[in-house]
Amino acid sequence: MIKKIINTFSEEDKGYMGYALRLAEGAKGKTFPNPAVGAVVVKKGKVVGKGATDVCGKDHAEKKALKEAREHAQGATLYITLEPCNHYGRTPPCTHDIIDAGVKRVVVALKDPNPLVNGKGIRFLRRNKVDVSIGLLRKEASELNEDFFWSVAHNTPWISLKLALTFDGKIADVYGDSKWITNKKARTFVHDIRRRHAAVAIGSGTLEKDNPQLSVRYVKGKSPVRFVFSSKNVFQGNTHFRKDANKIRSIIVLSSGKKGQKKTDPSGIELWYTGTKKTPRNLFTFMDMAYKEGLTSILVEGGQQLASTFLEYKLVNRLYLFYGNRLLGRGIDGFSFSKGLRIKKSIHLIDTKTYCFDDNIMITGIPSWK
Amino acid sequence: MIKKIINTFSEEDKGYMGYALRLAEGAKGKTFPNPAVGAVVVKKGKVVGKGATDVCGKDHAEKKALKEAREHAQGATLYITLEPCNHYGRTPPCTHDIIDAGVKRVVVALKDPNPLVNGKGIRFLRRNKVDVSIGLLRKEASELNEDFFWSVAHNTPWISLKLALTFDGKIADVYGDSKWITNKKARTFVHDIRRRHAAVAIGSGTLEKDNPQLSVRYVKGKSPVRFVFSSKNVFQGNTHFRKDANKIRSIIVLSSGKKGQKKTDPSGIELWYTGTKKTPRNLFTFMDMAYKEGLTSILVEGGQQLASTFLEYKLVNRLYLFYGNRLLGRGIDGFSFSKGLRIKKSIHLIDTKTYCFDDNIMITGIPSWK
């Protein structure tokens, strides 16, 4: 049993763990279906090794950091944003490397809730005389991989929903035009949110109206897989979606065919069939298919219908609401539920954070239902 | 001619002017149709007198401060948030008092744009050997009395518009219920906005649905005059509006009768007739009548129709948009213009400021039209 220990951490500890977190932040989006992890090896007040998780199957963060540290890892402290694994997965267990390297102390931000790990890594290290402290910057480390933890626990993708609204709550003017409601800084942040997700999803109306690229361009990072929801496969136009299908994995989710069926069309676009127009059953099938492919976090980017469906059926794990400095007086609503909620039964966001991009605002939080 | 002087102000100067501004802030709402002004007399690093504008016709801020300072005003510095008057109005000119008291230096935040003053006060002081500096905390002083300056320049009331919206831009659920979209802290701030205005205005739908008190209760301050816009005088119910009409001046604005006509009904409610249902003509008549009664700033608090009309006809000088932590999915829009604007022609807010009240947000700014 792990003893209940009140850990106290120095400012130095916090600094190194903060560094490890930044390394993990940088890796976020590249590691699916694995969590993004950062690790720093410190010896006598000097960083002698650092690493972050890479694409799935490559060395874990701590292994990279130890390799970089070489013989300096002997007697060093290892800061790591997630409990090291103790099992043979796609890579051998990291705990063995830590012990072999002679690391004296390990500071872990967070226990890995993955049932394959969950305390086993920490126990193994302690049994091998490594001094282990847990819980430094736990909240930050937890939020960084919130999608992973949720997905592992529920066997379904984490769903984020992002909308860009005017101050009066519209996602487009009466003509359907939405370019641009928010400013460049806000849209740059959207690209950063995108690169943290395994996939993005839009409805066919948004594809036809906006012809979005759905790629990561304004920040460094990997473009996520692209989903378009549609009742039929009609996108023969010269859309970015079709043109870039050979560069970015692109999937049309169709509410027809046989449940779970997959095809690829000549342009390289995949077709996924949910086999039903019934909501939310088609969404569950879609989420199941995505999860099985390791697409464990999906950013829904609208339009109204797709956003409303995911939210009304309580499938949204995190909301990102951007407000651009505009008032339209009338336009297309961000949401249009089949049934409006009463004030007392309204959705509210917990753990909210507010960001300002000059005169644009973004609020994010976890939706909660009464 | 006033010489162009580059004024430099010390940190001490800023501190005293800040104090004068706080005094003015406290008076805001009590001084209509006069601006709210604060004054501080400082001698040898000590505040020897202070004052703020009182109800119309009473001593001005600087006069009060000088009275409090008595003989200590001799050789002192007077900090004042607005240029002192040099004319006989409801009170004799303050410049005379300043000279008589032997004040050595006057620091003024802002020239008074009122054509009756506008530099005359400063010139008179300089001609009488008083050292005058202008422009310390000018922006703050200007914003504090933005309603006054605008009203004086345009001979019409300053119109503020406040709405409390859900994160998805609704002012009420589908049943019309709006209690409460925002939290107590946000609502308290609304009371502070109210007390700064000469009057508040709502539509008859809001009166019937919400039965609001429209008074200042959560903060210290004077309750503003209350306007209800209606097509007919039908409010016979036991509303707060009717019950409190003997305590707070309460006016029903009717789109009937003879233009400019006024009556008082037995319960003490005044009836103002605009003589037309045509918008914006009825609004112009109303604003004209209000201005003539010294009601130089009016806070419109909804509902949808009244808010939309004022904004669509470009009659709004400042917007206060509160966002409560709620999502309804469907409900009553904050605005419903007769014609929605295009993205490129949308209203945007300039000089925006954002406030957070826990997980509620308020954004305020000056609407600007393309």
Mean pLDDT of B120-143: 93
Q: List chain B residues with CB under 8 Å of A178.
A: 343
Q: Which residue of A has its CA nearest to B180?
A: A343
Q: For the segment A226-265, what is each residue's pLDDT rounded down to a tens digit?
A: 999 998 766 667 888 888 888 999 999 999 899 999 999 8
Q: A326 vs B347: CB contact, 8 Å cut-off? A: yes
Q: A329 vs B336: CB contact, 8 Å cut-off? A: yes
Q: B173 vs A343: CB contact, 8 Å cut-off? A: yes
ipTM: 0.91
Q: B169 vs A165: CB contact, 8 Å cut-off? A: yes
- Substitution target from B174, B180, B183, B335 for chain A, most A beta carbons within 10 A: B335
Q: Which residue of B has its CA nearest to A322?
A: B167
How many angstroms away from the CA of B368 is the closest CA of chain A?
Answer: 10
Of B168, B341, B367, the CB nearest to A328: B341
pLDDT of residue B137 exceeding 50: yes
How many angstroms away from the CA of A322 is the closest CA of chain B?
Answer: 10
pLDDT for B235 equals 61
Of B170, B177, B325, the CB nearest to A349: B325
pLDDT for B233 equals 67
Q: List chain B residues with CB under 8 Å of A359.
A: 348-349, 352, 365
Q: Which residue of B has its CA nearest to A353?
A: B359
Q: For the segment A116-175, what is each residue's pLDDT rounded down to a tens digit?
A: 778 889 999 999 999 999 999 999 999 999 999 999 899 999 999 999 999 999 999 999
Residue A276 in contact with residue A288, Cβ under 8 Å? Answer: no
How many angstroms away from the CA of A157 is the closest CA of chain B?
Answer: 23
Query: Of A11, A25, A62, A143, which one is the catalytic site residue?
Result: A62
Q: List chain A residues with CB under 8 Å of B342.
A: 173-175, 177
Q: A331 vs B340: CB contact, 8 Å cut-off? A: yes
- The neighbour count for residue A288, using CB atoms within 10 Å, is 15
Q: Which residue of B has its CA nearest to A364?
A: B359
Q: B349 vs A359: CB contact, 8 Å cut-off? A: yes
Q: List chain A residues with CB under 8 Å of B349.
A: 167, 325, 327, 359
Of A346, A356, A365, the CB nearest to B354: A356
pTM of the model: 0.92
pLDDT for B1 equals 47
Q: For the segment A1-15, what is each residue's pLDDT rounded down to a tens digit?
A: 455 555 689 999 999
Mean pLDDT of B290-300: 96
Catalytic residues of B, which ones? 62
